[in-house]
């Protein structure tokens, strides 16, 4: 058992640090902060990562991956988080990319993979439906065969950033025979196709990232089917495990906690620093202790994966604990911001009337409620662990 870094790892860390320091400049940071320039910022940042060859560390080298060891990946993630840089948009690089290189045909790989790496297409995920959330396999959006095309009808909901998307990857029903999982196919759909309508859903944080996507007689060429018809559920499941590991976000939570600690040091109540308040200290250390453990839980999972194991039920553990920790830090930030946590972003935002961090605390906390709901809710993850790990039926 050994977790120390080799000299090669240390010099790799220096390279990573140096790259982030120069590439993630102030102008870009500003762009990320405003919703109107957010999309451009995401694309610009991902292009910079691509130029450096670092956009998809988890991909196999032959498709554009970096070939890093799990230690290098860990270093990269930690440095990214401590530089305050967000993860890349998950939908292309993290989600549909792996499905395409694992289950797609040559033509699909050739066309889509480079475009994903270069951020030429913005992808969104069309799984959930109004009637099918946790019970995803009950989905009803149907794709009916019509010569060389499918005709797609139905509706997807909670589709993050569909308003920006060029493409959507969908689970659609191609058969109603047998088990509900057995009639699902994985289809790539160009968002500009006639018959697609995107209706915004404003979320609790007053922003627009969620959407309902309606499909009315949408023609999709059969060449956009991934793998075989009615096998889509298997493909999607392999992707969900990927998604869940990513959701843990330990490195980001660590940084957020450190940030909270620094803000609490400056915040004063009755002439005393908030950081010296025993009740506040208890809140903070409860989180930090769990986080110290979770970081090593994540490393243990990564090591298993590196040794050829598949991220199975452990990814559920990471998702549950990781999202609980994220929410706990977001709550701490609200605690520090006190009444300024409520200030909306209007003519006089929080920066002007109160704290510089109140607005960000509010947005993160409110939207953060979703982390225990999406990517398979935490209740569903616990069902997975109960069944797969504890053997409880």
Partner 1 sequence: MNFDFSEEQLMLRESIARFIQDDYSFDYRREISQSALGMSEHIWKKFAELGWLSIPFSEDCGGFGGGPVDISVIMEEFGKGLVLEPYMPTVLLFGKLIDAAGSEGQRSDFIPPIINGELLGAFAYLERQSRYELSDVMTKAVSNSKGFLLEGEKVVVLNGQNAAKVIVSARTSGDQFDREGISLFLVSSDSDGVERVSYQMMDGQIVSNFRFNKVSLTADSLIGDLGDGLKIIEGVLRAATVAISSEALGIMEELNRKTLEYSKTREQFGSAIGSFQVLQHRMVDTFMAYEQVKSLLYRSVCGLTETASDIECTVHALKALVGKTGKQIFGEAIQIHGGMGITDELDIGHYAKRLMMINTTFGGEDHHQGKFNFLRYG
Ligand X SMILES: Cc1cc2nc3c(=O)[nH]c(=O)nc-3n(C[C@H](O)[C@H](O)[C@H](O)COP(=O)(O)OP(=O)(O)OC[C@H]3O[C@@H](n4cnc5c(N)ncnc54)[C@H](O)[C@@H]3O)c2cc1C
Q: How many Å apart are CA 330 and CA 140, to the nearest integer? A: 36
Q: Which of 77, 121, 252, 267 binds partner 1 (CB under 8 A)?
A: 267
Which range, of 83-91, 190-198, 236-244, 261-269, touches partner 1 by CB under 8 A?
261-269
CB of 254 to ligand X, least distance (A): 23
**CA distance linking residue 43 with residue 22, whole number of Å:** 17
Whole-number minimum distance, CB 205 to ligand X, in Å? 10
Distances (CA, A) of 361 to 205, 249, 295, 348: 11, 17, 23, 16
Q: How far is C-alpha 326 from the chain's CA centre?
A: 13
Please report whether residue 210 would count as binding partner 1 according to CB under 8 A: yes
**Contacts to ligand X from residues 134-153, by CB under 6 A:** 134
Residue with tokens 């790989």: 109
Contact status: 125 vs ligand X (CB under 6 A) = yes
CB 296 within 8 A of CB 289: no
Site residues (CB under 8 A) for partner 1, limited to 370-389: 370, 372-374, 377-379, 382
249 binds partner 1 (CB under 8 A): no
The residue annotated as part of the active site, out of 243, 267, 314, 335, is: 243
Residue 363: count other Cβ atoms within 10 Å of its Cβ. Answer: 19
> Of these partners, ligand X, partner 1, none, which one is at the site of residue 335 (CB under 5 to 8 Å by kind)?
partner 1
Looking from the CA of 76 toward its CB, the CA atoms found within 13 Å total 17
> What HEC string does 245-271 produce?
HHHCCHHHHHHHHHHHHHHHHHCEECC
In whole angstroms, what is the distance from residue 391 CA to residue 393 CA? Answer: 6
Among 190, 374, 385, 386, binds ligand X (CB under 6 A): 374
Query: 327: Cβ–Cβ under 8 A, 6 or more apart, which residues?
Result: 365, 368, 369, 371, 372
Catalytic, 243? Answer: yes
Interaction between residue 329 and partner 1 (CB under 8 A): no
Q: How far is the CB of 87 from ligand X (least distance, A)?
A: 15
Q: Which of residues 202-221 bind ligand X (CB under 6 A)?
A: 210
Whether 136 and 180 have beta carbons less than 8 Å apart is answered as no
Note whether 119 binds ligand X by CB under 6 A: no
Q: Does 331 bind partner 1 (CB under 8 A)?
A: yes
- Which residues are at the interface with partner 1 (CB under 8 A)? 128, 132-135, 138, 157-158, 201-204, 206, 210, 267-271, 274, 277, 279-280, 283, 331, 334-335, 338-344, 346-349, 352-354, 362, 366-367, 369-370, 372-374, 377-379, 382
Q: What are the catalytic residues?
A: 243
């Amino acid at each position: 058992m050994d977790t120390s870094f080799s000299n090669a790892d240390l010099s790799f860390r220096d390279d990573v640090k140096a790259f982030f320091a120069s590439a993630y400049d102030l102008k870009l940071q500003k762009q990320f902060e405003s919703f109107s320039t957010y999309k451009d910022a995401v694309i610009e940042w991902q292009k910079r990562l691509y130029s450096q060859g670092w956009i998809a560390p988890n991909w196999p080298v032959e498709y554009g991956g970096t070939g890093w060891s799990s230690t290098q990946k860990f270093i990269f993630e930690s440095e990214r988080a401590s530089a305050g840089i967000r993860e890349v948009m998950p939908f292309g690089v993290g989600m549909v990319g792996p499905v395409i290189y694992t289950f797609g045909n040559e033509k699909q790989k050739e066309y889509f993979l480079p475009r994903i790496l270069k951020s030429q297409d913005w992808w969104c995920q069309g799984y959930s439906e109004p009637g099918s959330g946790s019970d995803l396999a009950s989905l009803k959006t149907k794709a009916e065969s019509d010569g060389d095309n499918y005709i797609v009808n139905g509706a997807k909901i909670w589709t993050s950033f569909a308003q920006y998307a060029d493409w959507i990857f969908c689970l659609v029903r191609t058969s109603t025979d047998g088990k509900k999982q057995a009639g699902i196919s994985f289809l790539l759909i160009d968002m500009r196709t006639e018959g697609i309508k995107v209706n915004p859903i404003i979320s609790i944080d007053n922003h627009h990232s969620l959407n309902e996507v309606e499909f009315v007689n949408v023609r999709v060429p059969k060449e956009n089917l991934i793998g075989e018809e009615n096998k889509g559920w298997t493909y999607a499941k392999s992707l969900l495990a990927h998604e869940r590991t990513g959701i843990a976000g330990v490195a980001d939570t660590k940084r957020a906690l450190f940030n909270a600690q620094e803000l609490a040091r400056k915040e004063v109540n009755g002439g005393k620093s908030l950081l010296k308040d025993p009740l506040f200290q208890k809140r903070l250390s409860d989180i930090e202790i769990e986080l110290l453990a979770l970081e090593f839980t994540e490393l243990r999972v990564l090591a298993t994966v590196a040794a050829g194991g598949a991220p199975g039920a452990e990814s559920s553990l990471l998702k549950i604990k990781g999202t609980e920790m994220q929410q706990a830090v977001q709550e701490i930030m609200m605690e520090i911001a006190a009444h300024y946590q409520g200030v909306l972003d209007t003519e006089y935002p929080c920066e002007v009337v109160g704290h510089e961090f109140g607005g960000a605390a509010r947005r993160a906390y409110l939207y953060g409620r979703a982390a225990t709901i999406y990517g398979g809710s935490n209740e569903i993850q616990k069902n997975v662990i109960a069944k797969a790990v504890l053997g409880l039926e």
